[in-house]
Amino acid sequence: MARDTLDRRTFVRTTAALGVATAIAGCSGGSGSGDGGDGDDGGDDGGSDGSDGSDGSDGSDGGSGEEEYLSEEPDYDGFLDDANNYEQTVDMTDADEVTVEVGAADGLSFGPAAVAVSSGTTVVWEWTGEGGDHNVSSTDGEFESDTFGEEGETFEHTFEESGTYTYACTPHETVGMLGAVHVE
Ligand SMILES: [Cu+2]
């Protein structure tokens, strides 16, 4: 009996240690400030070790939470095919104001790269200071920021009309610094 318990505890501890090692290894890809951004590399092996109580209830109030994706991906006409940090469109249609990082993940990304908002929503792009000089330049010319490199700079645009808006960072457009806002 006693030994049985002990064995099980050892097993649990070993498993936990392994889980930690895996988590650490999983993070080592992207130097820093991982805002949940490690999702795109092989999240499907062994599935998101929820281990330490990341219950987050049904929350969306803390910010650092799980991202919800649109159930049906908008048609970006291939624009985001080479976009860094893009996997799916993050559903932020409940928010009045949405922040997108400029210089997310590896520094040459928008974060989230694709976001869905409701019409009337203001999107605030906020520079992280990573990756050099960036701007936000819409494909159809509807909005364009200045070019900044410093952390904390911001640019905003309010999307009144539904539709799909694509944009790029002009200096890094050719290396995949692309983004989109889908307005519902
Ligand atoms: Cu850039």
Claim: this prediction has a pTM higher than 0.75: no
Domain coverage including residue 139: 67-183
**CATH number of the domain where residue 115 is located:** 2.60.40.420
Same structural domain for residues 90 and 177? yes
Instruction: Tell which wins on pLDDT, 129 or 65.
Output: 129
Same structural domain for residues 71 and 160? yes
Residues 167 and 142 sit within 8 Å (Cβ to Cβ): no
Per the domain annotation, does 45 fall within a domain?
no
Per the domain annotation, does 38 fall within a domain?
no
The pLDDT tens digits of the residues spanning 133-172 come to 999 999 999 999 999 999 999 999 999 999 999 999 999 9
Reduce the DSSP state of residue 5 to 3 states and report it.
helix
Domains: count for the chain? 2
**CA of 126 relative to ligand 1 center, distance in Å:** 12
**CA of 99 relative to ligand 1 center, distance in Å:** 17
What is the C-alpha to C-alpha distance for residues 40 and 10, in angstroms, rounded to an integer? 33
Per the domain annotation, does 17 fall within a domain?
yes
Per the domain annotation, does 165 fall within a domain?
yes
Per the domain annotation, does 118 fall within a domain?
yes
**CA of 131 relative to ligand 1 center, distance in Å:** 7
**CA of 37 relative to ligand 1 center, distance in Å:** 18
Beta strands in 90-139 (DSSP E): 90-91, 97-104, 109-111, 114-117, 121-127, 137-138
